[in-house]
Amino acid sequence: MHELSLVAGLFEILEEKARQHGAAKIVSVKLRVGRLSGAVPELLVTAFDMYKKGTLAEEAVLETVTVPVRVHCRSCGAEFEVEDFVFHCSTCGATDLEILSGTDLFLDKIELETEDDPA
């Protein structure tokens, strides 16, 4: 369970973005969680809810979207989703595959609340 460490990294970015945009509050956070990222979405939400106390994101909701592992075959050019973590081309059987997505943990977007500009 390293999701708390991951969430600590997430909060470094959140704090920086909140500062940049002069946000009073972070309302929602959307994460893209690769199937090969090594992180468990449910545990990320638990860790987020523990970590957010006393921060600008105290009331924020963490939404996670699972990203499948997609690859491109350098031999035949096929693009497909890897199933059961078998990294062989489903079309030609080659193993020279380039991973297109599904290994990362990406902070996609956040929703912020800012004070109204003084009139």
Partner 1 sequence: MKRKEVEVLEDILGSNIRAAAELKRRFLDRGVLAVNLMSSPGAGKTTLLERLAERLSPRYRLAVIEGDIETERDAERIRAKGIPAWQIQTGGACHLEAKMIGRLFPELPAELDFLFIENVGNLVCPAGYDLGESLRCLLLSAPEGDDKPKKYPKAFRTAQCLILSKSDLLGLLPFDPERAKKEALEVNPDLEIFLVSPLTGAGLEDFIAYLLRQRQKLTGRHA
Determine, following the binding rule CB under 8 A, whether residue 90 of this chain makes contact with partner 1.
no
Q: Which of residues 7-36 bind partner 1 (CB under 8 A)?
A: 7, 9-10, 12-13, 17, 21, 24-25, 27, 31, 36
> Rule CB under 8 A: is residue 110 a binding residue for partner 1?
yes
Nearest to residue 88, comparing CAs of 101, 102, 74? 74
Q: Is 5 in the site for partner 1 (CB under 8 A)?
A: yes
Q: Tell me the β-bridge partners of 81.
A: 70
**How many CA atoms does the CB half-sphere of 70 hold within 13 Å?**
9
Q: Should residue 47 be labelled a site residue for partner 1 when binding is judged by CB under 8 A? A: no
> Taking CB under 8 A as the rule, does residue 62 contact partner 1?
no
Q: What is the DSSP letter of 75?
A: T
Cβ neighbour number for residue 38 with a 10 Å cutoff: 12
Q: Does 113 bind partner 1 (CB under 8 A)?
A: yes
Give the closest residue to 54 by CA, choosing from 86, 26, 85, 16.
Answer: 26
Where do contacts with partner 1 occur on this chain (CB under 8 A)? 1-2, 5-7, 9-10, 12-13, 17, 21, 24-25, 27, 31, 36-39, 84-88, 95, 104-116
